[in-house]
Every structure is written in structure tokens, then in C-alpha cells.
Amino acid sequence: MNEYPVMIRLKGKKITVIGGGKVAERKILSLLQAEGVVEVISPSVTEKIQTLAQTAQLKWVKKEFEHYDVKSSFLVIAATNRREINQQVAEAVNEYQLVNIVDNPEKSNFIVPSSHQQGKLTIAVSTSGSSPSLAKKIKNELAQQFDETYAEYLDFLHNCRDVVKLRVEKPEIRRQLLKLLLEDEFLALTKNGQLTERNQRFLSLLEDITGR
């Protein structure tokens, strides 16, 4: 089965999670980080999920799952420890909804990769369900390389891109400038905390290339 990797914007979207255990909790925390509107269907939940409900960060419906619970959901995750309930969720969704059945990838139309995030940088690793442990191992190795420095570096690149778009009209010059910002010098200055020198180097580069 071939999968198409995408990044989905969930802000304001209704998301239903069936299950209230530790697996569901991990999924929920990521969904809230993406600003999804989360509803949890489960007779019982972890202390963390209960706290999130009490602070109005999500809605907890304290009951067993029923088919109508996912009728208006954009994305559905079945994360219970009961295979028959997860199967009911798979049968309840329609062909236009996104659904992940944690114990049955074949019944899912998307899977959640192992991911590492530093600011605007997100690195996702998937083995298409073959070995989640290997995906996690690779993710941890990448996390050592792409540390918190990259959050600051990417913010710098983002700001530079805005400046270049504003001050440089020719696309080929824009591309040249943005490519030069990927040279090791700018990352090294970021890692060393020499942010003022890095920013001045960018402005000098911009002036050299544009003549203004």
C-alpha cells in the first residue's frame, strides 16, 4: 500500500477520539497542539485528559461509543483497547472522513508518523506501519542532529525570506539570495549565539547583491 505524505491543518476542525487511555492521550496532545477541536468519547479517561476537559481544552463525553458520535467529524481516531469497539468506529465513518484505527492500519485511511518538531521545523518518519519502533529510532537519531538551534535558524530564514520578497523584484535574484542563506556560515553563527553578526551578514549580503 502506497501512502501520500501530507501536512494537514487541523485548526478549528472537529476531531473525535474514541478511547481515554494512554494511547489516546498521546494522540490528543498532538491534536491540541495543532489547534484541533477535540471531543473524546469514553466512559473513563486518564487524569491528564480529565484535566484538559476541566480546563475546557477539549470536550469529554463520558459514555460508550455509538455510531452517530462521528457523524460530523473531520478526523476520527479509534484508540481503545477493545478491538470490537475500534471495528465499530471503522464501520461508522464515511468515505470522506479521515480515520485512524490504532490497532488496524488496514482499516485506516491515514497513519500518524513518528515526528520531531523544533519550532517551524517538523520531521516525520514512517515505515508504513511495518516497524513503528524503527520509525521512532530514526526519529530520535534525527532529533540529535536537528536540535533547538534549528528552531531559531528557521525563524531567521523565515524573516529573511519576507525581507527578500519585499526588497528584491527579480525571481532569479531572490532564489540566489535564499540559497546563499543555506550556507554553513549562517547556521554556525546561529549555533554560536552570534545572532547580531548573523543578521548583519545577511543585510550586507542583501546590499551586495541588490546594490541598495
Ranges of each domain in the chain: 1-112, 114-144, 149-210
Q: In the prediction, which pLDDT does 49 show?
A: 98
Q: In the prediction, which pLDDT does 9 show?
A: 95
- Of 24, 49, 27, nearest in space to 36 by CA: 27
Residue type, 136: K
Domain 1-112 fold: Rossmann fold (3.40.50)
What is the number of other CB atoms lying within 10 angstroms of the CB of residue 71?
12
Q: In the prediction, which pLDDT does 1 show?
A: 60
User: How many Å apart are CA 39 and CA 178, to the nearest integer?
Assistant: 42
Element (H, E) at 160: helix 149-167
* pTM for this prediction: 0.83
User: How many Å apart are CA 108 and CA 113, to the nearest integer?
Assistant: 13
Q: In the prediction, which pLDDT does 101 show?
A: 96
Residue type, 57: Q
Q: φ, ψ for residue 18 (rounded to 5)?
A: -100, 120
Counting as low any pLDDT under 70, the low residues of the chain are: 1, 212
Q: Which residues of 140-172 are buried (b: 16+ CB within 10 A; e: fewer)?
A: eeeeeebeeebbbbbebbeebeeebeeebeeee
Q: In the prediction, which pLDDT does 212 show?
A: 59
Q: What is the pLDDT of residues 114-138, one digit of tens each?
A: 999 999 999 999 988 788 899 999 9
User: How many Å apart are CA 150 and CA 171, to the nearest integer?
Assistant: 26
